[in-house]
Chain A
Amino acid sequence: MTTPLQVTARLRDPVSTADHIRGPADAAVTVVEYGDFQCQFCGAAYPNLHELLRQRADTVRLVYRYFPIANVHPYAERAAETAEAAGVRGRFWEMHDWLYEHQDQLDPVHLSLGVEQVGLPPDELNAEVENRTHADRVRRDFVGGIRSGVNGTPTLFINGVRHDGGYDLPDLLAATDAAADA
């Protein structure tokens, strides 16, 4: 058993209704992002992905999956579980956006303020995070990612194929347009 030098990593966990999805259900192109809320590169990609969805509103949808690298980012797991707690209340994307727009405020005190700004009850969410209510979901995303060839954050899969290019808007537009035409 030997692997050739170049291997194209592929998404192994198909997108399902359990996923957090932004954009049209019938989009020609699905971008799956494995991200870490405390990762600066994910933070840098965030506005570009936002703009991608705006410019390709009919053709591209975004799926977000958790990939906290906790040994490097001490607040990443807590942020992910908070986002999931918001998600079960139908507010995932509001929380997701707040987290990426406040990456320097992910400590527990500021995070609670963020939860409040999103319009959710901080004490309730905090209790769920403390009880690790959503830890399994976050772990499931992580394991699916590592089995699919996620090799850092962010890692994007465009229609199931790992995107090894850049995360600037022109790169993302080119890659998703190519996938739409494929």
Chain B
Amino acid sequence: MSDPNGLIQPGRIAPGFTVPATPDGGLTGPEQFRGRPVVLAFYPADWSPVCGDQMALYQSAAPVFAQYQAVVLGVSVDSIWSHRAFAESRGIEFPLLADFEPKGEVARQYGAYQPRGEAARALVVLDPAGTVSWSHLSPPDVNPGADGIFDALDQLAADRKVTVG
């Protein structure tokens, strides 16, 4: 399916990468979580009001993500230092990835980079083998919530049952 915005589409192999992440700055990327669904939540920036709500919301939903054994990774072009302060202020325990140097390289690989120098507000769900199973682009000022993510995770779980069964 063509997408004028260029966001990575279902069926594609997710590009591999590692970048520094909270809490300790360790290099982190989706390939470390093979065998589990991975949710990449690209967002424009730490501290902008809508983002705060979106990442804080995903933290509050951690028990639901855990039911799917899903890993949530937040990604923006902010530095690890900004991410750390932001995570601390919002109680965010899942990794926030610093797509900082070269700036926005990860977001570009996923078609989630915006010319104004920030990541788009984009959600990408990877299946346990690292293939994109769902992606969604929101307007920058709209918090997409998590319902689309959980629908995608439900679909993955259903597909897996069919494959195994």
Q: In the bound complex, what is the Cα–Cα distance between A89 and B63 (angstroms)?
A: 29
Q: In the bound complex, what is the Cα–Cα distance between A70 and B150 (angstroms)?
A: 20
**A residues near B145, Cβ cutoff 8 Å:** 9, 146, 149-151
Q: Contact between A146 and B147 (Cβ–Cβ < 8 Å)?
A: yes
Are A72 and B63 also in contact (CB < 8 A) when A2-B136, A7-B148, A147-B147 are?
Answer: no
Q: Contact between B57 and A151 (Cβ–Cβ < 8 Å)?
A: yes
Q: Which 3 A-B pairs have the closest CB atoms?
A: A71-B91, A151-B145, A151-B143
State which size class the interface on A falls in: 20 to 34
Q: Contact between B53 and A151 (Cβ–Cβ < 8 Å)?
A: yes
Are A5 and B137 also in contact (CB < 8 A) when A72-B91, A151-B54 are?
Answer: yes
Taking beta carbons and an 8 Å cutoff, which residues of A are in contact with B? 1-3, 5, 7, 9, 68-72, 139, 142-143, 146-152
State which size class the interface on B falls in: 20 to 34
Q: Contact between A152 and B57 (Cβ–Cβ < 8 Å)?
A: yes
Q: In the bound complex, what is the Cα–Cα distance between A147 and B3 (angstroms)?
A: 26
Q: Contact between A152 and B9 (Cβ–Cβ < 8 Å)?
A: no
**A residues near B152, Cβ cutoff 8 Å:** 1
Q: Can you sample 6 A-B contacts with CB below 8 Å?
A: A69-B60, A71-B91, A71-B92, A146-B147, A150-B145, A152-B143
